[in-house]
Amino acid sequence: MLTARAYRRPYARDVADLTFHRDDLTGEATRALIVHHLAGMHASSPAESVFALDVDGLKHPDVAFFSARRGDDVVAIGALKALDAQNGELKSMRVADAYLGTGAGRAMLRHLVAEARARGMQTLWLETGSTPDFVPARRLYASEGFAECGAFGDYPENPFSVFMTRVL
């Protein structure tokens, strides 16, 4: 008899052993993943439509930046930006290429949602891309309760952006 585990993709890894850290953005692996994230954003969208934060932007006092690790490996990154006391925005979520499809992105998303709840936030927002490269991200967000909405905050309406929100 085959178990549910037998149906998993051969490269899938458990994410139960991931640890989440408030990251100070000084580590080489973390910074490399941010650079990789930004390069991917610029490869998929025109420069004026890229709203991802660089290292300096992620160091802003309103931004809490996290890394997910397996041992010494940085598996995923993500940030929570406080828009005000009740609203937050997800920023700069990225999974290291070796961990794509393993559940690391979902684990990071759930960590950020839990962090937002712990801070008393009531609503989360995000901006992601509209091109086919972003379909997996949009599916992940939708599967975790995010719904498409209009532009929020200072974002302009943009054909390369999809805006999503979720009440916590």
pLDDT in tens, 35-91: 999 999 999 899 899 999 999 999 999 999 999 999 989 999 999 999 999 999 999
* Structural domain includes residue 3: no
Q: Alpha-carbon distance 4 to 145, whole Å?
A: 25
Q: Which residue has the tokens 């991917």?
A: 40
pLDDT averaged over every residue in the chain: 91
* Structural domain includes residue 47: yes
Counted domains in the chain:
1
* Structural domain includes residue 41: yes
* Structural domain includes residue 7: no
What torsion, rounded to 10 degrees, do the Cα atoms 28, 32, 38, 41 define? -150
Any idea what the CATH number is for the domain that residue 128 is in? 3.40.630.30
Q: Which residue has the higher pLDDT, 16 or 167?
A: 167
Model confidence, pTM? 0.90
* Structural domain includes residue 69: yes
- Reported as a single tens digit per residue, the pLDDT across 108-118 is 999 999 999 99
* Structural domain includes residue 31: yes
Domain that holds residue 128: 14-167
* Structural domain includes residue 1: no
* Structural domain includes residue 114: yes
